Structure 1
Amino acid sequence: MTTITVTRACCVSAAALLVAAPSTAPQESAAERPPVSGALAPPERREPAAVVTEAGYRYDDLLWENDRTAHRIYSKRLEQAEPPSGSGIDSWGKNVRWPFADRQLRTGDQHGYHGEGLDFYNVGTTRGAGGLGIWYDNKLWTSRNAVRHRILASGGRVADFTVDYAPWPVDVDRKVWETRRFTLPLGTHFTRLVSTISSDREAPLLVGIGIGKRTTGQGAGELTVDRAKGLLSWWGPQDGDHGRMAIALRVAPDMIAEVRSEADNHLVLLRVTAGRPFVYFSASAWTGGEGGFRRRADWDAYVAGERLDFRPPSS
Structure 2
Amino acid sequence: MAHAQTQDQASSAVMAKPTGVQQTPRATVTLAPYRFNDILWENDRTAHRIYSRELEKNEPPSSSGIDAWGKSVRWPFMDRQLRTGDQHANHGEGVDFYDVGTGRGAGGLGIWADNKLWTSRNWSDWKVIQNGPDVAAFSVDYAPWPVGVDRKVWETRTFSLPLGTNFTRMVSTISSDKTGPLIVGIGISKRKRASGTGVFRRDLAPGRVTFWEPADPKKGSMAIALMVDPKSVVEVRQDFDNYLVLIKVEPGKPFVYYMGAAWDEGLDFHSSAEWDAYVAEQKPDFDPRH
TM-score (structure 2 length as normaliser): 0.93
Q: What residue number does 1:9 align with?
A: none
- SS state of the match for residue 257, structure 1? strand
Corresponding position: 1:154 with 2:131: yes
Does 2:285 align with 1:309?
yes
Matched, 1:281 2:258: yes
Distance in structure 1 (CA, Å) of the matches to 2:141 and 2:271: 36
Q: In the alignment, which of 277, 281, 294 is matched to residue 270 of structure 2?
A: 294
Query: CA separation in 2, counterparts of 1:120 and 1:211?
Result: 15
For the aligned residues, what is the CA RMSD?
A: 1.6
In structure 1, distance between residues paired with 2:288 and 2:88:
36
Which residue is 1:213 aligned to?
Answer: 190
Number of the residue aligned with 1:41: 16
Please state if 1:223 is matched with 2:190: no
Of the candidates 51, 57, 64, which is equivalent to residue 80 of structure 1? Answer: 57
SS of the aligned residue for 2:30 comes to strand
Amino acid in structure 1 at the alignment position of 2:146:
P
- Amino acid across the alignment from 1:289: G
Q: What is the CA-CA distance between 1:173 and the residue it aligns to?
A: 2.1
1:70-109 to 2 correspondence within 5 Å? 70-109=47-86
2 CA distance for matches of 1:303 and 1:94? Answer: 18
Task: With the length of structure 1 as denominator, give the TM-score of the two structures.
Answer: 0.85
| One-letter code aligned to 1:126 | G
> What are the residue-to-residue correspondences of 1:157-306 with 2, within 5 Å?
157-214=134-191, 219-291=196-268, 293-306=269-282
Deviation at 1:149, TM superposition (A): 0.5
> Which whole-Å deviations, capped at 9, do the CAs of 1:194-253 have from their partners, x for residues lacking one?
000000001110000000002877543110100011011000011012011000000010
Contact 1:164 1:179 in 2 (8 A): yes
Which of 1 and 2 has higher RCO (CA within 8 Å, sep 6+)? 1
Count, aligned residues? 277
Q: State the distance in 1 between where 2:192 and 2:48 align.
A: 14
Distance across 2 between alignment mates of 1:151 and 1:216: 37
- Answering whether residue 46 of structure 2 is matched by residue 63 of structure 1, we say no
**Cα distance in 1 for residues equivalent to 2:179 and 2:196:** 40
- Quote the Cα distance in structure 1 between the aligned partners of 2:226 and 2:203: 11
| Paired position in structure 1 for 2:7 | none
**What is the one-letter code of the residue matched to 1:163?**
V
Q: In structure 2, how many angstroms separate the alpha carbons of the residues matched to 1:64 and 1:216?
A: 28
Checking the alignment, whether the CA contact within 8 Å between 2:223 and 2:275 is kept in structure 1 is: yes
One-letter amino acid of the structure 2 residue matched with residue 88 of structure 1: G
Secondary structure, in 3 states, of the residue corresponding to 1:240? coil
Q: Alignment identity in percent?
A: 62
Q: What residue in structure 1 maps to residue 110 of structure 2?
A: 133
In the alignment, the residues of structure 1 paired with residue 48 and residue 250 of structure 2 have an alpha-carbon distance, to the nearest angstrom, of 28
- Aligned amino acid, residue 107 of structure 1: T
The residue identity in structure 2 corresponding to 1:307 is K
Q: Which runs of 5+ in 2 are unaligned?
A: 1-10
CA distance in 2, matches of 1:256, 1:205: 12
> 1:22 is matched with which residue?
none
Asked whether the equivalents of residues 25 and 76 of structure 2 are also in contact (C-alpha less than 8 Å), the reply is: yes
Distance 1:237 1:57 in 2: 32
Aligned-partner Cα distance in 2 for 1:220–1:178: 32
Q: Is the 8 A contact 1:216 1:236 kept in 2?
A: no
SS at match of 1:134: strand
Residue type at the aligned position of 1:247: I
